Amino acid sequence: MDDVERAVETVLDAVDVAYVVDLAQRLVQTPSVFRPGDPAGTESAAAAVCAAELRALGLEVRVEDAAPGRPNVIADWAGAAPGPLLILEGHTDVVTEGDAALWSVPPFGGLIRDGRLYGRGAADMKGGLAAAIAAVRAIRDAGVRLPGRLRLAIVSDEEGMMLGIKTFVRNGWAQGAVGAIICEPEDNCPCLVQKGALRALARFSGRMAHGAMPKSGVNPIPAAAAFVGRAAALEAAYAARHGQHPLLGAPSVTPTVCQAGDLAQLNVMHAEALVALDVRTIPGQEHGAIRLDLERAAAAAAEEVPGCRGALEVIEDRPWTDTPGDAAVVRAVEQACRRVQGRAPVRRGVPGSTDGTFLRAWAGVPIVTIGPGDVTIPHQVDEFVRLDDVVDACRIFAAAACYCLAGRP
Ligand SMILES: [Zn+2]
């Protein structure tokens, strides 16, 4: 056994199962749904729990607001000598619990039953966050001499506009990182690819009129309908051109919002109509070309209705990512999977975008997404994570960090 394997063994022995379970439970019990207009409805309490843990470990901790009351927590463990910087990334915000009456457990109770931790965020992604913090704790407690630096990026607003990770990148924290592990629920399988996303609003403007005299105005609704049809045609064209990605499936162009008129007054033809599109892309697609396609589709749809104007606005652009299989962080994570899980890792793809999108796209950092929890369970009622999976994730993160900082395998 060589030095690195010995270090990994010491670190794995130092993983404190009771600690990671307790921390995951406390994080679930700390609500962090962003509720605009409610001063208590932010990530700040969950961020404070993380910051307190990290300070107690003696790490250098920085707290920076991505938006008022929506902090990022950044904490560094510094190795014994200069070396690579590896980021462990997670988000504190969780989606709404929805109607609590539909849950069979209290959404923020952190109930543990039959080896599962239940609650909003258990899988997405307080289990992963606890695993990442406990992994750094194990490395510290093991007292192993490793070069380099581990940086915990614990950010806000992943479920929204990803202001947390964008602020983290803008403030320079990703600079020089050799890789990042995104601790999202992926059944502890390494994901090297993830879909891209474009969110666009098509607005159609006509002229208001009485429903009895529609010709005296311009109705934007048929233009919006034509745009929906053109979106479907674009989806078919993209699928024909790019086919199925083996891990991500086909690209999609989905109308998610359609607004026009007012149910209170069915005899009024309103001047405005809006269609929102959620476009999901796979490696090989060009977002710039898609933007042009959407602009042309909006213009052509408006032209079908004389006097109607159409405009398209892209409100969010998240590129797809595809990390090379020989990146140091990939080799480190996959070696850690073999070591902890005792089998060859099975690569998967991330169907949505994550904070990793911006670490890759804006800062050029190679990313691997891996963490505890079923891929399908987030955002549902009775969300849970298996505690064995949380502990395994902690071991994978800890071992991967050792391999990565040591420059192996
Ligand atoms: Zn998540």
Instruction: Compute, in angstroms, the gap from residue 215 CA to the centroid of ligand 1.
Output: 50
Q: What digits encode the pLDDT tens for the residues 219-255?
A: 999 999 999 999 999 999 999 999 999 999 999 999 9
Instruction: Compute, in angstroms, the gap from residue 159 CA to the centroid of ligand 1.
Output: 7
Q: CA 307, CA 248: separation in Å to the nearest integer?
A: 41
pLDDT value of position 125: 97
Instruction: Compute, in angstroms, the gap from residue 292 CA to the centroid of ligand 1.
Output: 30
Q: What digits encode the pLDDT tens for the residues 149-184?
A: 999 999 999 999 999 999 999 999 999 999 999 999
Instruction: Compute, in angstroms, the gap from residue 264 CA to the centroid of ligand 1.
Output: 39
Instruction: Compute, in angstroms, the gap from residue 150 CA to the centroid of ligand 1.
Output: 21
- In which element (H, E) is residue 274 found? strand 272-281
Instruction: Compute, in angstroms, the gap from residue 328 CA to the centroid of ligand 1.
Output: 24
Instruction: Compute, in angstroms, the gap from residue 43 CA to the centroid of ligand 1.
Output: 14
pLDDT value of position 1: 67
- Res 303 pLDDT > 70: yes
Instruction: Compute, in angstroms, the gap from residue 124 CA to the centroid of ligand 1.
Output: 5
Instruction: Compute, in angstroms, the gap from residue 191 CA to the centroid of ligand 1.
Output: 14
Q: What digits encode the pLDDT tens for the residues 6-30?
A: 999 999 999 999 999 999 999 999 9
pLDDT value of position 376: 83
Longest CA pairwise span in the chain (Å): 86
Instruction: Compute, in angstroms, the gap from residue 298 CA to the centroid of ligand 1.
Output: 32
Which residue reads 């409610």 in tokens? Answer: 38
- Res 408 pLDDT > 80: no
Instruction: Compute, in angstroms, the gap from residue 53 CA to the centroid of ligand 1.
Output: 21
Instruction: Compute, in angstroms, the gap from residue 158 CA to the centroid of ligand 1.
Output: 7
Instruction: Compute, in angstroms, the gap from residue 90 CA to the centroid of ligand 1.
Output: 8
Q: CA 220, CA 211: separation in Å to the nearest integer?
A: 13
Q: What digits encode the pLDDT tens for the residues 111-155?
A: 999 999 999 999 999 999 999 999 999 999 999 999 999 999 999
pLDDT value of position 378: 79
Instruction: Compute, in angstroms, the gap from residue 183 CA to the centroid of ligand 1.
Output: 8
- Res 77 pLDDT > 70: yes
Instruction: Compute, in angstroms, the gap from residue 125 CA to the centroid of ligand 1.
Output: 5
Residues within 5 A (CB) of ion ligand 1? 124-125, 184
Reported as a pLDDT band with limits 50, 70 and 90, residue 404 is very high
* Alpha carbon distances (Å) from 249 to 242, 246, 282: 10, 6, 8
Q: Is 285 helix (H, G, I), strand (E, B) or coil?
A: coil
- Whole-structure pTM value: 0.93
Q: What digits encode the pLDDT tens for the residues 335-385?
A: 999 999 999 999 999 999 999 999 999 999 999 999 999 988 878 999 999
Instruction: Compute, in angstroms, the gap from residue 367 CA to the centroid of ligand 1.
Output: 15
Instruction: Compute, in angstroms, the gap from residue 109 CA to the centroid of ligand 1.
Output: 19
Residue 205, CA atoms < 13 Å, CB-side half-sphere: 4
Residues 6+ apart with CB under 8 A from 319: 196, 281, 287, 357, 360, 361
Contact 159, 95 (CB under 8 A): yes
Instruction: Compute, in angstroms, the gap from residue 48 CA to the centroid of ligand 1.
Output: 19
Encoded tokens for 226 = 């034509």
Instruction: Compute, in angstroms, the gap from residue 58 CA to the centroid of ligand 1.
Output: 27
Instruction: Compute, in angstroms, the gap from residue 96 CA to the centroid of ligand 1.
Output: 13
Instruction: Compute, in angstroms, the gap from residue 354 CA to the centroid of ligand 1.
Output: 7
Instruction: Compute, in angstroms, the gap from residue 94 CA to the centroid of ligand 1.
Output: 8
Q: What percent of the chain has pLDDT over 70?
A: 100
pLDDT value of position 368: 98
pLDDT value of position 375: 86
Reported as a pLDDT band with limits 50, 70 and 90, residue 409 is low
Contact 215, 365 (CB under 8 A): no
Instruction: Compute, in angstroms, the gap from residue 28 CA to the centroid of ligand 1.
Output: 14
Instruction: Compute, in angstroms, the gap from residue 184 CA to the centroid of ligand 1.
Output: 5
Instruction: Compute, in angstroms, the gap from residue 66 CA to the centroid of ligand 1.
Output: 17
DSSP symbol at 102: G
Instruction: Compute, in angstroms, the gap from residue 3 CA to the centroid of ligand 1.
Output: 35
